[in-house]
Amino acid sequence: MPKDNAKLTKLAGATPPEAEILSNALPYMQRYDGASVVVKYGGHAMGDAALAESFARDIVLLKQSGVNPIVVHGGGPQIGALLDKLGIKSEFRGGLRVTDQDTMDVVEMVLAGSINKRIVAAINKQGGRAVGISGKDAGLMTVRKLEKEIPDPDSNLMQIVDLGFVGEPTKVDPHIIEVMIASDLIPVVAPLGVSHEGQTYNVNADTFAGELAAKMLAKRLLLLTDVEGVLDKKGKLIAQLTVERARALIADGTIDGGMIPKIESCISVVQNGVEAVVIINGKTPHAVLLELFTEHGAGTLLSSTLDG
């Protein structure tokens, strides 16, 4: 028997690995068919060109698979770089950027301008139909000035700090998002909001994404960051957390530092109707697909119960 025919005979009945991967993904694709998934795309995760292209392709694949992806993006590193270039000094207090009018002008330029349109162009290049908006469009996100309490370094007493034009959401009207989804478009949203007085405010991207996901009753909120997820005291990734377990890990110090406000925000989102929130390393290739369409996922999933 010719060698080529022998090889074909040996492989007969074997399942190619690519086909097996697609077959195993089917139940997960069915789970998310027609569901909304909000993806918060962090500024640190979008720094690598190859990863940005991979992310755009994955978002298009989600849409083609029947999922309704909604991208909310950050841009902290990019904002900081332009502020430095322009010689505008910026400071952080309580983990949030103090935003005066000059800084706000740069924030809006970067978020609603260069970054937003770059993501839109990347998704469209991969065959999607993305449209960039901000929370200011069609009254999507109404906000008020954020009042933040932080401990005074000298007395350790809590004090209210003025963060300038930093806002917190008071009302979400997702009509424009719903229209876009119904029109087979992919929304790409910059985290800006407007007050009742017409003033533009910068909104923390995690907070913005969480409020939007809750209002949309999204099946998942994916937070793409620069960390693997929540780690235990031995540095091992915790794949799944309930709200109760997350609170216990905060209490015993396993979850500390900047991860505490992120987890507290995740808990609030779950309690407001989102099935689960997942913290993922956005620098992992195809992290979104791995999380949604595989059994093992790609980060730390937080839900009300272990069945989330």
Residues 6+ positions from 72 with CB-CB distance below 8 Å: 38, 39, 40, 41, 189, 191, 205, 208, 209, 212
Query: 97-137 pLDDT, tens per residue?
Result: 788 899 999 999 999 999 999 999 999 999 999 999 999 99
Distance, in Å, from the CA atom of 272 to the CA atom of 38, rounded to the nearest integer, reads: 14
> What is the distance between the terminal CA atoms of the chain, rounded to a whole angstrom?
54
Cα–Cα distance for residue pair 169/142, rounded to 1 Å:
6
pLDDT at 43 exceeding the cut of 70 = no
Coil/strand/helix, residue 203: coil
**What is the torsion angle, in degrees rounded to the nearest 10, for the CA atoms of residue 41, residue 117, residue 204 and residue 274?**
-50
DSSP 294: S
**Residue 45: band (very low, low, confident or very high) from pLDDT cuts 50, 70, 90:** low
Cβ atoms of residues 278 and 260 within 8 Å = no
Average pLDDT across the chain, whole number: 87
Q: Answer with the residue of higher pLDDT: 160 or 133.
A: 133
pLDDT average, residue stretch 235-257:
91
Confidence of residue 94 (pLDDT cuts 50, 70, 90): low
**What is the rounded average pLDDT of the residues 144-159?**
74
Side chain identity at residue 37, one-letter code: V
| CB neighbours of residue 163 within 10 Å | 23
Domains of the chain: 69-202 (3.40.1160.10)
What is the maximum alpha-carbon separation in the chain? 87
pLDDT tens string 172-197: 999 999 999 999 999 999 999 999 99
Distance CA 119, CA 131 (A): 9
Alpha-carbon distance 272 to 252, whole Å?
25
